[in-house]
Structure 1
Amino acid sequence: MSYNLFEIPSESGNHADIVLADPQNTDRNTYTHHSYTIETTDIESEVLDKRGIRLRNFRNWQLIKEKNPQVLGSFKENRGYYIGESVLSQNCIDHHSQAKTVLKLGLIVRLFEKVKE
């Protein structure tokens, strides 16, 4: 399987990370939407290696399975993250969340382009 975007909640459930991951291979690096927020002069291969986290080490998967079983379901089905889905699915209008979502989306697009190259 190849990389896809997934929304993975934190263990507390208060936050979520948008990650680029290959759920069928937990030894491959996973990249959060924060991976490219700081500039570097390193070469690209070093950046990909340094800023990735092995998927198996990314979260306490037993806790995620108990609290958010839909995450593992999305992995099995390779059902990727629909951009902005968790914010847009809420009925209330929260301009702060919308602004944060737009900022994160810009980072995700850049990360996705780099990993796909």
Structure 2
Amino acid sequence: MRILTAEFIRSCAGPEQFLKGDLPEVAFIGRSNVGKSSLINSLLQRKGLAKVSRTPGKTRLVNFFRATSDDPGLAQFLVVDLPGYGYAKVSKALRSQWAPLIEQYLSGSEQLRAVVVLVESRVL
């Protein structure tokens, strides 16, 4: 499958803003700064599409991207970049909002077809 186009659609702070439609969704989840946004940029072949940073906690909302491919069975789909869990250089109050936001997305999306869980491979 070759990606033909990819574009940012929307950032969502709550479930009322989540996209409702018929496009299949693939979500990326993992600890803060594990590389979710970087992997999305690489897979969609669009440098800078999903914002990345060396500082944990750059992704603070649920971000939706639409992609089109040359695969007739999957011509259009959504990629969803979720906030990381664990340490982030943000206030505890802000970080505490992420878990319910992630849970609301994962449990409420009717078009979610896959969840890619990124695991950090570094040994501390």
Do they fold alike, i.e. is TM over 0.5?
no
Higher relative contact order, chain-length normalized (CA < 8 Å, sep 6+) = 2
1 or 2, which has the higher helix percentage?
A: 1
1 or 2, which has the higher strand percentage?
A: 2
Q: Calculate the TM-score normalised by the size of structure 1.
A: 0.31
